Amino acid sequence: MVTSSSPSAVEVPARIDGLVNLAYNLWWSWQPPAAALFRELDPALWDATDQNPVLILHRLPPERLESAASDPAFVRAYDAVVTSYGEMERADPSDTWIGRHEPALANKTVAYFSAEFGLHRALPIYSGGLGVLAGDHAKQASDLGLPLVGVSLLYRQGYLRQRLTHDGWQHDVTADIEPWAEPTTQVRGADGNPCFVEVAFDQPEAPLRLAIWCLRVGRVPIYLLDADVDGNPEWTRTVSSRLYGGDQEHRLRQEIVLGVGGVRALRAMGVEPAYWHANEGHAAFHLLERVRELAATGLGFEEAAERVRATTVFTSHTPVPAGHDVFPPYLIDRYFGHYWSQLGLGREGFLALGRHTESGDGFNLTALSMRLAGHRNGVSERHGEVTREMWSGLWPGIEPAMVPITSITNGVHLPTWISPRVQNLLDRHLAPDWRERQDDPATWEPVRTIPAGEFWEVHLAAKRDLLTDMRERTRRRWSEGGLDPAQVVAAGPFLEANVLTLGFARRFATYKRATLLFHDLDRLAGILNHPEWPVQIVFAGKAHPADDGGKRLIQEIYGRTRDPRLSGRIAFVEDYDMGVAGTMVGGVDVWLNMPRAPMEASGTSGMKAAANGVPNLSILDGWWREGWSPDNSNGWGIEPAPVADDHAQDAAEAHAFYDLLAEVAPLYYRRDADGIPVAWVTRAKEAICTVAPAFSAQRMLADYVHRLYRPAAGVDR
Ligand SMILES: *Cc1c(COP(=O)(O)O)cnc(C)c1O
């Protein structure tokens, strides 16, 4: 099997025809010089296409490409990018990080299964932090030379786009994904025909056919399964269409496509993983399929399961019960009744694999994953403790502290999440190879000696970028018609670049308590409207389409944007995605998080902010318990209030926020003779120096490689 690498219907002059290859590999998205090439071709189209080079090449008039091909400056920049692309693609494994640090893994492929991948704003096959983490994992694997292949679904309707009605209710608008308009190419066999694999749902005699698309992320391929194939019954064609749309049965079918279909797709393409990684329980059925394969060679269930366990890593991402799939036995009977005998199991034995005391007689995919994956982790130290506690029932007689689930704290892909402006600043002051040594604290030391004025100027430019972006989004919506003036007020026209700006943006899951700061409106109004030290807050985020509780929180904030007492100092940015996230994390002055502890397994947006020099002010939960310096030198932490009652806890923690904000605001406004907040800048630099190395995806991948991938790959066996 081969991957089709000749994307259709794009004509580019020979002198610059490497642009096609660049456009079809998301590598460009974390290489500022490569992104600049596409932007320069047509800045307006760059914005209008959501920064999508494939669409840009499709839409540009041939004359524009001809003129670029004969522009010496463009061609020079192009040649430099093509050279570094070639170096990335052709690097000898011994020349990569993995070749130097863990050579035994340099030729062993890990298959990484995830129901979503957050790779780029123009490819909405992610809903939030879990997907973005998977995307960052893939990008970092490419950077380190770790042989990884991703497996996921091609959601042709993507994750919803958010529109808010005049009274703040979230409307879920589908985002149609056209494979030809994305950097996806269909996988074909040696005969040139599209490659298909089959999976059975409830009727084994009428299997479903799945197409496979390949998405290239640097050196890493991600294979996306697609049920929208001619010849499939009409109802099955929409199975992979929507990320987290539909009911439980729809979800079960998607997870069969991902798990069972994913293993079959890798086999069909001749990919031979040496070990496997399931990102969250959604990928659990891949474990069953691998047991089935081994059973087909004659092994008994126990022996087959033991082999699967030895070669599998499983990461659990949330203590929130709704984050764990549980299916009723009748659905399991319907979809797996023809399957379990192929594993050497009967109904009882099969159902027992997904049993968990908290789930009644339901089939719990996290329990299944815990049972069939031998290397397990949570995503922060605290989440590790909570996860051991939560699943200790699976290891009867073992103390929770001894339950075999470890933790690896999440990290973020710095070249994706540090803004081009700040990367430029770092390029001027750090060693030229800082990106390769980003997990070493020493790499970041020179940040401390950047002149405060230069540092502050870069931050202010990022802040103006955010305000400009907010204004331009609003202008676009206004000129499309249908926006009423009050909605324009909600979008933040009264925000000012010289006012201390707090940012809060993430999924509107209720445990994240987005509205906590509105607990006592009088106190909040006093802080926002302080005569000397005013404060403004920018919010963004989507609620899950089925989560009316989350939608009500959005509505509450939306209402507050227009509350005259708050003077237009609250804004809500519509349609949170990786694009909005990228502008917000570097463009505000302080990043907020107020989860109900210990529900925030890790959180990653605060890491992105800190790496841009934006200090966090957050509840000490998830990653921030590890990232915060107790002398407040890199941000501010609030201990969760030790009360059991939710309302009392909200009140205590809201007032702790107000108290702290009253201290933080004057610090921001303390300036030297040149108007530079020198002490503030010191704290912002400290945020970079402490958070960037420890919470980089490079540190995270190194932890996975040394602690879980090595044993799963059998290096020590
Ligand atoms: C980083 C990111 C998240 C994760 O944010 P948390 O802090 O973990 O809640 C969610 N959505 C998008 C678009 C992101 O970029």
| Within a domain: 717 | no
Pairing of strands 500-505, 220-226: unpaired
Q: What is the CA radius of gyration of the chain?
A: 25
Pick from 202, 605, 10: which is nearest to 18 by CA?
10
In 3-state terms, what secondary structure has residue 458?
A: helix
Residues 9 and 148 in one domain: no
Residue nearest to atom 6 of ligand 1 (CA): 603
The angle subtended at Cα 571 by Cα 565 and Cα 576, nearest 5°, is: 155
Q: How far is the CA of 124 from the centre of ligand 1 (A)?
A: 14
**Co-location of 615 and 707 in the same domain:** no
- 622 lies in the same domain as 670: yes
Ligand 1 and 604: CB distance under 6 A: yes
Give domain status of residue 670, yes or no: yes
pLDDT in tens, 185-212: 999 999 999 999 999 999 999 999 999 9
- Do 582 and 509 share a domain, yes or no? yes
pLDDT tens-digit series, residues 374-393:
999 999 999 999 999 999 99
Same domain, 260 and 135: yes
Residue 639 lies in a domain: yes
Range of the domain at 576: 415-695
DSSP 8-state code for residue 194: B
- Ligand 1 and 262: CB distance under 6 A: no
Helices then strands, counting H and E runs in the chain, come out as 30, 21
On whether residue 459 sits in a domain, the answer given is: yes
Ligand 1 atom nearest to 605, measured from its CA: 7
Buried b vs exposed e over 135-164: b needs ≥16 C-beta within 10 Å? bbbbbbbbbbbbbbbbbbbbbbbbbbebeb
- The DSSP H or E segment spanning 278 is strand 275-279
Indicate if 370 and 291 belong to the same structural domain: yes
Q: How many residues does the chain have?
A: 717
Pocket flag, ligand 1, residue 132 (CB < 6 Å): yes
Q: Is the pLDDT of residue 240 over 50?
A: yes
Q: Residue 605 C-alpha to ligand 1 middle, in angstroms?
A: 5
**Residues pairing with 638 in the sheet:** 619
Q: What is the pLDDT of residues 399-435, one digit of tens each?
A: 999 999 999 999 999 999 999 999 999 999 999 999 9
Boundary of a domain, candidates 90, 118, 142: 90
**Is the CB of 622 inside a 6 Å radius of any atom of ligand 1?**
no
54 & 143 share domain: no
User: Whose CA is closest to 216, among 417, 54, 420?
Assistant: 54
> Dihedrals φ, ψ of 495, to 5°?
-65, 150
Q: Could you tell me if 149 and 51 lie in one domain? A: no
| DSSP letter assigned to residue 506 | S
Q: What is the pTM of this model?
A: 0.97
pLDDT category at 51 given cuts 50, 70, 90 is very high
pLDDT digits (tens, 9 = 90+) for 643-689: 889 999 999 999 999 999 999 999 999 999 999 999 999 999 999 99
Is residue 436 domain-resident? yes
Work out the pLDDT band at 3, boundaries 50, 70, 90. Answer: very low
Number of folded domains that form the chain? 3
Do the domain assignments include residue 272? yes
Does residue 229 form part of some domain? Answer: no
Backbone angles phi, psi at 191, to 5 degrees: -80, 0
Question: Omega of the bond prior to 124 within 30 degrees of 0, cis?
Answer: no
Looking at the structure, tell me whether residues 321 and 424 fall in a common domain.
Answer: no
Check which CATH number belongs to the domain holding 255 and give it.
Answer: 3.40.50.2000
Residues 514, 630, single domain; the answer is yes
Last residue of a domain, one of 66, 90, 114: 90
Q: Is 255 part of a structural domain of the chain? A: yes
Q: Give the separation between CA 414 and CA 568, rounded to whole angstroms.
A: 33
Q: What pLDDT digit, counting tens, does each position of 545-578 carry?
A: 989 999 999 999 999 999 999 999 999 999 999 9
Whole-number Å distance between alpha carbons of 88 and 190: 26
500 and 470, same structural domain? Answer: yes
Does 348 lie in the same domain as 300? yes
- Residue 7 has what pLDDT? 54
- Place 323 in a pLDDT band, splitting at 50, 70 and 90: confident
